[in-house]
Each structure stands twice: as C-alpha cells, then as structure tokens.
Chains A and B, each alone.
Chain A
C-alpha cells in the first residue's frame, strides 16, 4: 500500500483499497452462490425448491379454461379429438406434460404456445390447482 502511494500517489492508493474491497466482496458473493447451489443440489431433483400453490394456480388458468374448462371440447387443429380432462389428474404428471409441451417434446402447437409463456413456478402452481391440491 505504501508502495502504491509512492508510485501512484493518493488516488492510486484509494483505487487499490477499492479494488481490494471489491475482491473480498465478490469472493464472499461467489462463496454464497456456491453454498446455495450446493444446498439446492442436495434436494431430490434440482427444481425441488419450487412448490406449487393451488391458490396461485387458480389465478393463472385463464389460458386453460377456454378449452379444458368446456366438457367434450374438441381441438380443431391439427387433428380433431377431445382435449383431455385435466382436473383430478396427477400433479407430477401435469407438471411434466406442460414442460414437455414447452420444450417441444410434445407437438401440439397451441399447447406449446401457451406453455412457453409459463415459468417453472407457473407450471407448478397450475399443476397443483388442477390436481386439486389444497
């Protein structure tokens, strides 16, 4: 530090102190991040910390009811069949189905369009709601 003062004057010393604080701070943040990652990795399956809320899901289903809220409703595109009954379905299955539409592992165009607007939390909430979780 004294060397820095001699070489770069007062401004240089201040800059060195700020840089030193920056290094300490960022390493603390990194350590925290690593600890958090380790903690979430210890959970069962990566996204284990996301818990679906049926109450939250009830406020997010406006895009669902236009088809899944009508008994015997049929899709007109790409082929005609009745859209599945989803109320009372298994929560984990609903979650994996929505994620498969979102990733493109399931081909339905309008389901893909809707699922791509959903976050993991939205999907968990909707799954909880339709599974009838309290």
Chain B
C-alpha cells in the first residue's frame, strides 16, 4: 500500500511537471487562431501586408520582442490607443502564443550589420 502511494505520488508529480511545461511552451496553432481574429485585420494575415504603412511588419520578428511589446501595451507603459485596447484583452498565454505564431512566419525583416 505504501509503495502504491509512493508510485502514485511520483506519477502525479511527473504529470504535473509535464503539463506545466506544456502550458508554458508557446502554442503556435493557438496563436494563429487568436491572431486571425484579433491581429490580422490590421497587420495582415501574413503579418507583412498591413492595412496602414504605419503599422509594423510582425512576420519573423523575434518572439521575445513581440511578447515584450504586447506586455508593455497591455500594462500601458507603451502608450498607443489602438494597441493598448487590443493587448488589454490578451492573457499572458495569448501573448506567448501570438508572438510565437508571428515569429514562425516567413519574414522580410533582417539584421543590417552596418
């Protein structure tokens, strides 16, 4: 009985750790779904052809930068009336997923060394 309980605890711990790591890893498919309803209207379905030239290209941008920008729009430390409203509706998980999705798209963005 005691050994059974021990195994149960071990299995439960592993399962918990596994689910936690799955939850924290960004989900590109979920990001795509969110992005298609929230972001694509302005930034374009491909993350490149935005409806206004003053809106940035997102495709292929570093996901950690995208997440940082969204987090700042959400907190209000980066002030923009449109993006503030959009980001306010996003959870931390949404932000990670959407950032991973746009980062995965083919990109016109590069690093110019000089």
Q: Whole-angstrom distance between the alpha carbons of A91 and B57 in the complex?
A: 10
A65→B62 contact, CB < 8 A: no
B 61-114 contacts with A by CB, 8 A: 61-62, 64-65, 67-68, 72, 77-80, 107-114
**23 residue pairs bridging A and B, Cβ less than 8 Å apart:** A61-B114, A65-B112, A65-B113, A70-B111, A81-B67, A85-B61, A85-B62, A85-B107, A86-B109, A87-B111, A88-B57, A88-B107, A88-B110, A89-B109, A90-B50, A90-B55, A92-B53, A93-B55, A95-B54, A100-B78, A100-B80, A105-B80, A107-B78
B54→A106 contact, CB < 8 A: no
**Across the interface, which residues of B come within 8 angstroms of A39, CB to CB?**
none
Query: How many residue pairs, one in A and one in B, have C-beta atoms under 8 Å apart?
Result: 80
**Across the interface, which residues of B come within 8 angstroms of A91, CB to CB?**
53
Q: Whole-angstrom distance between the alpha carbons of A68 and B61 in the complex?
A: 13
**Across the interface, which residues of B come within 8 angstroms of A130, CB to CB?**
112
Across the interface, name the chain B residue whose C-beta is closest to A105: B79
Size band of the B side of the interface?
A: 20 to 34
Interface of A is mostly: loop
CB distance from A75 to the nearest CB of B (A): 9
B78→A81 contact, CB < 8 A: no
Which of B50, B54, B55, B110 is the one whose CB lies under 8 Å from A85? B110
- Interface residues, chain B, CB within 8 Å of chain A? 50, 52-57, 60-62, 64-65, 67-68, 72, 77-80, 107-114
B78→A89 contact, CB < 8 A: no
Given contacts A82-B64, A84-B61, A130-B112, contact A93 B54 (CB under 8 A): yes
Mask for A81-115, Cβ within 8 A of B = 1, else 0?
11111111111110111001000011100000000
Q: Whole-angstrom distance between the alpha carbons of A49 and B110 in the complex?
A: 29
A68→B78 contact, CB < 8 A: no
Mask for A60-85, Cβ within 8 A of B = 1, else 0?
01000100111110000001011111
